[in-house]
Amino acid sequence: MSSHHEEIEGDIEEQFITRDDVLAEVPDADDDVPMDEDDDEAADTLGELSSAEPSGSDNSLQAFSTHTSSVFAVAGHPTEPLAASGGEDDLGYIWDITDGEVIVKLTGHTDSITSVAWSADGEMIATGGMDGKIRIWRRVGKENYRTWEFLTQLDGPDEVMFLRWHPKGNVLLAGSNDSTLWLWQLPSGNTMQVFAGHTGAVQSGEFTPDGKRIVSGCADGVLIFWDPRSPAPIFKLTPDDARFDLDGITSLGINPSSTLAVVGGAAGGVRVVSLNKGDIVATLGGHTEGASIESVAFIDLTGNTGGAGIAATGATDGKICIWDLTTLRLRATLKHEDAVTTLLTHPLPKGHVLVSASADNTLRTWDTRTGTLLREHLGHQGPVLGATLGLQGAVVISAGDDGACLVFTTEPDD
């Protein structure tokens, strides 16, 4: 085996948990609740933001209007009051969510930027575009998050469909329009794996929350479960099984215990798949036939990662369905006036809070325990194409077809 391969094997072993790690102690939900310094900082920053008086039908705290056309993607930094956005103008920006100041202009793409993603530690940012390029920047020094440098460009995909960083390490996953799935080690930029097995554009993909596996879905309706260290699938589900004919996979989510995937299709179908058995557990039928399922999110009410969990699915019919996966019952149906484009769930202790973005120009914050609308977020003049949480969930940051990114508080109305 060449030294290059040995180096990559070593990287993989470092990044992906071994059997010895499985019994690592999980803190009780109750241990997590007291505010730490990060929460205090988030509250202070939110106070600064809230002092800006919104006007009329715009209740945003801050706007970022530097993009010159549609904004397709936005990502909130894991710890700092920063966001990154990318759009149809072939540009990305890192900007300060408190005042809209540009920190870094992310250049080098020759077509629309459709994905932006921070590494788990917030030290790197990746942009992915319709030009097939993935460009990585990293923070310079340790003093603050205001100085960034271009690190490397990753080439290979035909057109980037999504980007996901590993939840615990500097490993980046990308889906391509040409039916391939790519995995890189950063900061070296070494290609760790190119997964082949899909037949259509790989539109959806996620690491399991435990970081050990990858689930991906393509436009031809094929779902594949991978071990990151092997190019061969662990299992594959295809539309050849009539129970799994979704008319193409448009979204997927994985429960906190990494045991179930909820898979959404282009024709309104939702399937629950056991990742342990490689089989379909259930069909969920709450959406209108023909309505594409655009987003899947898991809701964490307790911090207990055991059990099937509670999932939300959002679709082009404007509905958000909240499912109890233990009983396979529909707990609630929430509504927008147009397609739901994004669903976001809060971290504990506010795991019950869900934020939705829609083509009806609004975002909404909900209490999923009761189905109550806590806040409506107004200010966009066109469809909201993406959204992300910031400041540990205290704000939501949106990406609009109108070229604007807006920052809103998700705290309930007084």
Q: List, for residues 279-301, the tens digit of each pLDDT value.
A: 999 999 999 999 999 999 999 88
Percent of the chain with pLDDT over 90: 82
Check pLDDT > 70 for residue 53: no
* Contacts with 81 (C-beta within 8 Å, 6 or more apart), sequence order: 45, 96, 97, 98, 390, 391
Does residue 187 contact residue 150 with C-beta atoms inside 8 Å?
no
Give residue-wise pLDDT tens across range 119-137: 999 999 999 999 999 999 9
- Per-residue pLDDT at 300: 87
Check pLDDT > 60 for residue 76: yes
Length of the chain: 414
Check pLDDT > 70 for residue 318: yes
Check pLDDT > 90 for residue 321: yes
Check pLDDT > 60 for residue 375: yes
Give residue-wise pLDDT tens across range 159-172: 999 999 999 999 99
Check pLDDT > 70 for residue 69: yes
Give residue-wise pLDDT tens across range 1-47: 444 444 444 444 444 433 333 322 223 333 333 344 455 565 566 55
pLDDT band at 348 (very low <50, low <70, confident <90, very high): confident
| Arithmetic mean of pLDDT, 147-152 | 98
Residue whose tokens read 């448009």: 250
pLDDT band at 305 (very low <50, low <70, confident <90, very high): low
- Per-residue pLDDT at 414: 57
By the 10 Å C-beta count (0-12 exposed, 13-18 middle, 19+ buried), 410 is classed as buried
Distance CA 117, CA 48 (A): 26
| Arithmetic mean of pLDDT, 330-341 | 97
Predicted TM-score (pTM) of the model is 0.88
- Per-residue pLDDT at 16: 47
- Per-residue pLDDT at 41: 61
- Per-residue pLDDT at 34: 38
Distance CA 216, CA 233 (A): 10
Looking at every residue in the chain, the average pLDDT score rounds to: 89
Q: Shortest CA distance to 404 belongs to which of 151, 387, 394, 274? A: 387
Between these two residues, 10 and 149, which has the higher pLDDT value?
149
- Per-residue pLDDT at 407: 98
Does residue 381 contact residue 402 with C-beta atoms inside 8 Å?
yes
